Every structure is written in C-alpha cells, then in structure tokens.
Amino acid sequence: MTRVGLLGGAFDPPHGGHLKLARLAFECLNLDELRFVPANSSPGKSAPCASVEARLAMLHGMLLDTPFTVETIELDNGTAGPSYTVDTLETLSKREPGTAWILIVGMDQALDFGNWRNPARILEMASIAVASRPAFAGALPCILAPRQSNEWSGIPGQVVPLPGTEIDISSSQLRERLASANTSGVALNFLPEKVRAVISSENIYR
C-alpha cells in the first residue's frame, strides 16, 4: 500500500509555508509520496491572479531538489470552474486503486470541512491531517471530531494532527505586498528564489 499525501490549493503564489508544511507532513505521516495539487480555483474564492502556466512554473521551480511532485489532475479535467476535493479523490481512487490517501489541510480548512462538497464521501476515500494555525482555534466539526487519532494507520476516515509551520504568511498577503511594490518586506523572504524569478519574468501581481 502506497501512502500518498495531497496538499491542495491555488498556490498563487506558492511559498515557504507550503513547502515547510509538505516537509512536516512527509516526515510525520511516514509518506511514500507527497503531491501538490493546484486547483483551477477554490470554491467560494475568486479565480487565481496568475495563469495556470505561471502557477505551474512557480510550483515546479519551488519543488526542484525536493521529493515532492505536482499532480495536475484538477487542471487537466477540462473545466474552468471550482475544483472539488471529492471529485479529485474519486478520479484518483479509480486511477490508482490500493493507494492510501491523506489530505493535508490547515486548521482553518478543517473547521470548514462540514461545508465541503460531500464530506462524508471524502472520508470514505481518504484521511485528513490537520496542521495547527495560531489564528484559527476551536473544536473540530462533528463530522471530524470522533475520528481523531494520534497516528495514521493508512485506512481512510481518520483525522490526525500535524504541527504548525510557525510561518505566519499567506499567498494573499504576498500578492498584496507585490502589488504595492513592497518587495523589501520580511514576508517576501518566504518566496523561494525560483518562485521570485517566475514572478519577475512574467510580471505577475504588479
């Protein structure tokens, strides 16, 4: 059984917080693979500012010399609308039977999990690893709380903890700073060099 972690998002842009979370998950969950899964767009959010091509270039650049890969399933489905996790898992489960899947999310996403499309079906196909975030605290929703476990056995439907990254930055904050030409701020140190290079060459977020 191959243990695969899925880290989804717009990655607009990808940054050091994403990378640190991936490293924590890879080690703590004893994963065989970890895949970044860029979305066309996230439900309830505006479309990404950067093009698909630019976001992929930034991701591939950031992941050079790491054990992580990019899974483009949500970009390859031929639709321009929101990407839904349940649909992604349905396709992956059919494509790769016998694989154990675990979603890597922040506490902010976990608190909203009951509002995701078909959360019960998601838990039939995958487990969830929840990384702590200081700005988001509270009890997990009732669909997740009874499923908590200290370790992931590989079976679907478990909810396991991950340590937080201690990196208090988001893609939206980085976009705002880039748009205002505030490129000297400490926050931009969280943009890997190859991500900065794509932003500069494509003139994104200005």
Q: Does the pLDDT at position 156 exceed 60?
A: yes
Considering only the C-alpha atoms of the chain, give the largest distance between any 2 of them, rounded to a whole number of Å.
48
Q: Where are the chain's structural domains?
A: 3-202
Q: What integer pLDDT is reported at residue 186 of this predicted model? A: 56
Per the model's pLDDT, the better-predicted residue between 190 and 90 turns out to be 90
Query: In this structure, what token pair is assigned to residue 105?
Result: 């999310």
pLDDT at residue 137 is higher than 90? no
- Note if the pTM is more than 0.95: no
Structurally, at CATH architecture level, domain 3-202 sits in 3-Layer(aba) Sandwich (3.40)
Does 135 score more than 90 pLDDT? Answer: no
Point out which residues pair with 5 in neighbouring strands.
34, 102
Q: What pLDDT digit, counting tens, does each position of 44-76 carry?
A: 677 888 999 999 999 999 999 999 999 999 998
